[in-house]
Amino acid sequence: MQLMFAWLEITVTTDSVNAEQVHGLLDTLGCLGTAQVWKLEPDSGEQQVTTQLVGYLPATEDVTEKLIWLQEQIDYALAHGWLFKPVTVTTRILESEEWEGPLREVLPPLLIGDKFLITLTDSEVDNPENRIVLRLRSLGGFGTGHHPTTKMCLEFLEKAMVAVDREVESHQTKGRRVLDVGTGSGILAIAAAKLGAKEVIATDIDDAALEAAKENAKRNEVEGKIKFVKSDLLRQVKGQFDIVLSNLLTPLIKDLAWQLKSREVLTQDSLWIASGVSSEGWKEVKPLLAKLGYRIIDECELAGWVAFKAELC
């Protein structure tokens, strides 16, 4: 099961003259979308125009530090005359049923790597490069592509030769067998299917996540290519796979590393693509992988998260 996180709505109310600077601060903060709203408010019998800039941020562990940084930057700018009062910051956690509406309005189609275009609507999108379009509606976890871990996994996956023929019992079979552990929204499984995988198994322990993933598979017209299985990591998984995908937090990546080895899910030619490990957690995970007999083929870091490709030594 991928980490499910809430979304934080940040509203900065200020004078319109500050809008550009505040927008820049929210963008630097990492807000995934920023909308601007003008309001008329009574002031001594007259109508005063104020501007509200609204941004959305995943409510992850470091969100408090980010909010402190935002307030410090605003205070510094006010003290030096770069912003003008009033500037007020309010926040609220969005309930699950509130996530999709506002985020879909402000999050534009997202290009990832050389092959993928992610959209949160069912409407047609401009696609001049003829990319693989991934249509998603579930926003609750690391599953929209806007989170660094999903982005890095997709960038590794597009280079994994998913559609390349493989030899099975002395004859060629088109496409690879792919396992997505903790599928969440189903984005990685759907991407593998669209890349030409012969078979995709997607697991999650959460019933709601599986239902959302199934709906997303239908939305992308690949429901016949993906088998969804309720499973705690590999407990209900059988057989070997050419490619294993997992976007899970550090403790689960550690457990999965053991299970992949003990259950012989990987062959000597298999590839494991994983993310969800924090930069700090990577200091523990990397030596564990070496101890268990994995070789790190590639690794990358983005915004405090690490993704890696590994194979058995």
pLDDT digits (tens, 9 = 90+) for 240-295: 999 999 999 898 999 999 999 999 999 999 999 999 898 889 999 999 999 999 99
Candidates 205, 252, 210; CA nearest to 227 is 210
Q: How far apart are CA 182 and CA 125, in angstroms?
A: 28
Q: Which CATH class is domain 7-103?
A: alpha beta
pLDDT of res. 292: 97
19 Cβ contact partners less than 8 Å away, ≥ 6 residues apart: 36, 51, 53
pLDDT of 185 > 70? The answer is: yes
Same fold for the pair 7-103 and 141-312: no
pLDDT of res. 276: 87
pLDDT of res. 130: 96
**Hey, where are the domains in the chain?**
7-103, 141-312
pLDDT in tens, 103-153: 666 667 889 999 999 998 788 889 999 999 999 875 444 456 667 888 999
pLDDT in tens, 7-65: 788 999 988 788 878 888 887 787 766 666 666 555 544 555 678 888 887 777 678 88
Q: How far apart are CA 74 and CA 84, in angstroms?
A: 10
Candidates 106, 133, 110; CA nearest to 122 is 133
pLDDT of 171 > 70? The answer is: no
One-letter amino acid at 87 equals: V
Q: If pLDDT is split at 50, 70 and 90, which confidence band does 169 have?
A: very low
Per DSSP, what are the bridge partners of residue 230? 204
CATH hierarchy code of domain 141-312: 3.40.50.150
What is the pLDDT of the chain when averaged over all its residues? 85
Strand pairing report for 132-135 and 116-119: parallel
- Does the model's pTM come out above 0.75? no
